[in-house]
Amino acid sequence: MADKPKIAFYWCASCGGCEEAVVDLAEDILSVVSAVDIVLWPVAMDFKKADIEAMPDGSIAASLINGAIRTSEQEEFVRLLRKKSGAVISFGSCACTGGIPSLANQFEKERILSYVYEQAPSVINELKTRPQLESKGDEGHSLELPAFREMVRPLDEVIKVDYYLPGCPPTPKLIKEAVTALLTGKLPPAGSTLAPDTALCEECPRKDSKPADLAISEFKMPSGAVIDPEKCMLAQGFICMGPATRGGCEALCIKGNMPCTGCFGPTSRVKDQGAKMLSCVASSAAGKEDAEIDKTLAGIPDPVGTFYRYGLAKCRLRGKADRVPGKGVRQKA
């Protein structure tokens, strides 16, 4: 009997939700597991890096990698998987566009470390001790920690990616379709995103209630208002990322009476998801004077977290320009 195709799962800067999504395949997980030979899955099975290093190059049919890239260890491991794999699938928003971890790109590395190890209310650290990249263990041997990089990056800025499976996390339906396409050799051309290339609004059950002129005079937070379960979210004054976001999620959040937060990323025609949505929102304001539009936009309390919740690492502006005392403005890498 021919060998089963080898599959690897790996996680980088990740919450673990993408791993849960694989388990969410429910009984379908059994057919996946019986059709493939899983050679790496840190959340569920005990394989070591040395096991992967010992495999011939290209011998893993596909590696499904979730999470963004922040540390030297993550870079090293995904480069190893790239070498050993025929195909690499960028799995979930964090791997595809940086995801929620890339919201950290608003802050310099030093500011993050200083807060986490010195200033956070739950921290007492009078000696300002921080983890060191290298230290000596009790018996004199050297201990190493991974380096924490300046910025969070999506997977395709570190290794070549063959396919993108978007979502936070990807839905069981899309995962199943991707695995089936992989096993039957029916994958689309390399570089494809394994989800429809149309905006969410086009598959939204409320699309007929979205007026051509939204004429929004005030934005509301879902937590502080009653949401009409039939009407377009934007028409009600809730930021819904549907116009700037790829469909394929079955509009699950909308069906749960919550606005889309944009986790599927943009369609192929949109270069910058946040800028596209900001443009949509600004042009939908009821007022036409700058002051009126500014007043309407001021009702959005966290513009970066709203428009770039899952994609700050792919934002065309890259990072924040930090103003350093005495050194002027410095654009982060």
Q: Is 94 an interacting residue with respect to ligand SF4 (CB under 6 A)?
A: yes
Q: Is 281 an interacting residue with respect to ligand SF4 (CB under 6 A)?
A: no
Q: Cβ–Cβ contacts within 10 Å for residue 190, how many?
A: 10
Q: Is 220 an interacting residue with respect to ligand SF4 (CB under 6 A)?
A: no
Strand, coil or helix: 128: coil
Stretch that binds ligand SF4, among 198-206, 270-278, 285-293, 318-326 (CB under 6 A): 198-206
Q: Is 274 an interacting residue with respect to ligand SF4 (CB under 6 A)?
A: no
Choose, by CB under 6 A, the member of 63, 66, 97, 105 that binds ligand SF4. 66
Choose, by CB under 6 A, the member of 8, 22, 64, 100 that binds ligand SF4. 100
Stretch that binds ligand SF4, among 145-153, 230-238, 271-279, 290-298 (CB under 6 A): 230-238
Stretch that binds ligand SF4, among 12-20, 48-56, 180-188, 217-225 (CB under 6 A): 12-20
Q: Which long-range contacts (CB under 8 A, 24 or more apart) does 252-260 make?
A: 252/171, 254/200, 254/204, 254/205, 254/206, 255/205, 257/227, 257/229, 258/222, 258/227, 259/222, 259/233, 260/200, 260/233
Minimum distance from CB of 210 to ligand SF4 (Å)?
A: 4
Burial of 309 (0-12, 13-18, 19+ CB in 10 A): buried
Distance from C-alpha of 133 to C-alpha of 145, rounded to nearest angstrom: 5
Stretch that binds ligand SF4, among 10-18, 114-122, 145-153, 313-321 (CB under 6 A): 10-18
The amino acid at residue 176 is K
Distance from C-alpha of 305 to C-alpha of 106, rounded to nearest angstrom: 10
Distance from C-alpha of 273 to C-alpha of 312, rounded to nearest angstrom: 9
What backbone torsions phi and psi does residue 222 show, to the nearest 5 degrees?
A: -55, -30
**Paired tokens of 224:** 């502080």
Stretch that binds ligand SF4, among 72-80, 113-121, 154-162, 201-209 (CB under 6 A): 201-209
Minimum distance from CB of 125 to ligand SF4 (Å)?
A: 28
Distance from C-alpha of 214 to C-alpha of 150, rounded to nearest angstrom: 40
x/- site string to ligand SF4, residues 149 to 178, per CB under 6 A?
A: -------------------xx---------
Stretch that binds ligand SF4, among 88-96, 157-165, 218-226, 266-274 (CB under 6 A): 88-96
Percentages helix, strand, coil for the chain (3-state, rounded to 5) are: 35, 20, 45
**Among candidates 217, 250, 216, which has minimal Cα distance to 232?**
216
Choose, by CB under 6 A, the member of 17, 248, 262, 265 that binds ligand SF4. 17
With contacts defined by CB under 6 A, how many residues of the chain interact with ligand SF4?
27
Minimum distance from CB of 203 to ligand SF4 (Å)?
A: 8
Tell me if 47 sits within 8 A of 60, measured CB to CB: no
Query: For residues 159 and 240, which CB has a smaller minimum distance to ligand SF4 in the complex?
Result: 240
**Paired tokens of 99:** 């995801």
Distance from C-alpha of 11 to C-alpha of 262, rounded to nearest angstrom: 21
Distance from C-alpha of 200 to C-alpha of 333, rounded to nearest angstrom: 32
Choose, by CB under 6 A, the member of 151, 154, 158, 242 that binds ligand SF4. 242
Q: Is 104 an interacting residue with respect to ligand SF4 (CB under 6 A)?
A: no
Choose, by CB under 6 A, the member of 80, 182, 200, 244 that binds ligand SF4. 200
Q: Is 204 an interacting residue with respect to ligand SF4 (CB under 6 A)?
A: yes
> What residues line the site for ligand SF4 (CB under 6 A)?
14-15, 17-18, 66-67, 92-94, 99-100, 168-169, 200-201, 204, 206-207, 210, 232-234, 240, 242-243, 254, 260
